[in-house]
């Protein structure tokens, strides 16, 4: 499959934080959920892809071309939706649209007006008068109105109500009818990704923990529950991300069949959600393995 995005061994040091050898790719025609806790490196990675920050090492390609060498050409084909408002607050929607549209050779006024009507965006309102949800809708309308082939979204649903989040998922699903497009969707709201993502890339403390299809990620993990005394036996070699409580323990495993085969009814093995997987890895404790 042809990749719309390739990030290869990219590193960046920022104070005490380091993005460490980040590698992943997104094929054309798919949506990738880019997930991880706050401070994990999601926004830093996105800024590097966008050329808003210089990497220390590594290679980034968009549409098969170096993202810096061919920056102007790439950005004509790319749409970006920020998690914050970067528009001039005292300008009106129509004025911001006029400024932004002048940068794109493929700007389609008809498409913008259609989205503006669908999103109920008043062109005469000042940016500072818009709610967070309306600002996000405006950003999305701008990103979609120059026939962008690759959309990068940094926490687009954060702080938004479930109704608009559902609308956004529908819009993204409709967009992907065009198999030449791709979407990188950074978020911590995993329920949105379970509805729409094809791939999941999970970053934690500046490192990629896993990068695979959503179905493979979910099917390869399970939650194990049992008594605390079992953690001192061979079971611990099959677990990761352990969390203990007064009743025993809960943990994540990628070896569910082995756990069930060895311990049978002594443990409870349940299907893991994407949220479970991330929470156990981020907040669970690792236990020492047997020699």
Q: What is the pLDDT of residues 139-189, one digit of tens each?
A: 889 998 999 999 999 887 766 778 878 888 888 888 888 888 999 999 877
Residue 134 in tokens: 């309306």
Polymer length in residues for the chain: 291
For residue 83, pLDDT beyond 80 = no
Instruction: Report yes or no: 56 and 11 within 8 Å, Cβ to Cβ.
Output: yes
Q: How far apart are CA 262 and CA 10, in angstroms?
A: 41
pLDDT-derived band of residue 257, with 50, 70 and 90 as boundaries?
very high
pTM above 0.75, yes or no: yes
Residue 145 in tokens: 């109105």
pLDDT-derived band of residue 215, with 50, 70 and 90 as boundaries?
very high
Q: Do 134 and 272 fall into the same domain?
A: no
For residue 219, pLDDT beyond 90 = yes
Q: Is residue 290 part of a domain?
A: no
Domain boundary among 192, 217, 242: 217
Q: Do 190 and 235 fall into the same domain?
A: no
Q: Do 253 and 131 fall into the same domain?
A: no
For residue 285, pLDDT beyond 70 = no
Q: Is residue 59 part of a domain?
A: yes
Q: Which long-range contacts (CB under 8 A, 24 or more apart) does 110-117 make?
A: 111/144, 111/145, 111/147, 112/141, 112/142, 112/145, 115/140, 115/141, 115/144, 115/145, 116/141
Q: Do 99 and 243 fall into the same domain?
A: no
pLDDT-derived band of residue 7, with 50, 70 and 90 as boundaries?
very high
Q: Do 203 and 228 fall into the same domain?
A: no
Q: Is residue 289 part of a domain?
A: no
Q: How far apart are CA 71 and CA 74, in angstroms?
A: 5
Query: What's the distance, Cα to Cα, between the start and end of the chain in Å?
Result: 42
Q: Strands across the sheet with 3-14, in order?
A: 17-27, 3-14, 57-62, 65-66
Number of structural domains (the chain) is 2
Q: How far apart are CA 155 and CA 263, in angstroms?
A: 41
Position 291 scores a pLDDT of: 45
Compute, in degrees rounded to 10, the torsion defined by CA atoms 173, 176, 182, 188: 10
Bridge partners of residue 150, in order along the sequence? 78, 182
Single out the residue of 22, 54, 58 nearest to residue 211, CA to CA.
Answer: 22
Bigger pLDDT: 288 or 206?
206
Q: Which domain holds residue 255?
A: 220-283
Average pLDDT over residues 72-93: 87
Position 222 scores a pLDDT of: 96
Q: Is residue 291 part of a domain?
A: no
Bigger pLDDT: 210 or 289?
210
Position 19 scores a pLDDT of: 95
Q: Do 90 and 153 fall into the same domain?
A: yes
């Amino acid at each position: 499959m042809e990749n719309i995005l390739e990030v290869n061994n990219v590193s960046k040091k920022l104070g005490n934080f380091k993005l460490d050898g980040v590698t992943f790719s997104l094929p054309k025609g798919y949506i990738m959920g880019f997930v991880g806790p706050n401070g994990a490196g999601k926004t830093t990675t996105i800024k590097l892809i966008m050329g808003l920050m210089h990497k220390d090492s590594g290679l980034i390609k968009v549409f098969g071309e170096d993202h810096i060498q061919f920056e102007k050409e790439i950005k004509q084909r790319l749409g970006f939706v920020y998690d914050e408002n970067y528009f001039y607050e005292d300008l009106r929607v129509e004025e911001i649209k006029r400024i932004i549209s002048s940068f794109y050779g493929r700007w389609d006024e008809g498409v913008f007006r259609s989205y503006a009507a669908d999103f109920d965006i008043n062109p005469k309102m000042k940016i500072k008068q818009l709610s967070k949800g309306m600002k996000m809708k405006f950003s999305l309308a701008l990103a979609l109105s120059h026939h962008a082939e690759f959309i990068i979204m940094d926490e687009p649903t954060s702080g938004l109500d479930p109704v608009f989040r559902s609308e956004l998922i529908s819009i993204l699903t409709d967009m992907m009818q065009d198999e030449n497009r791709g979407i990188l969707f950074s978020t911590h709201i995993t329920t949105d990704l379970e509805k729409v993502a094809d791939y999941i890339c999970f970053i934690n403390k500046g490192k990629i923990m896993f990068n695979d299809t959503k179905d493979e990620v979910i099917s390869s993990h399970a939650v194990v529950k049992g008594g605390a005394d079992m953690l001192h036996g061979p079971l611990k070699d099959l677990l990761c991300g352990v969390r203990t409580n007064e009743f025993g323990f809960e943990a994540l495993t990628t070896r569910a069949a082995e756990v069930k085969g060895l311990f049978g009814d002594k443990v409870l093995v349940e299907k893991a959600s994407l949220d479970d997987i991330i929470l156990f890895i981020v907040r669970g404790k690792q236990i020492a393995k047997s020699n």
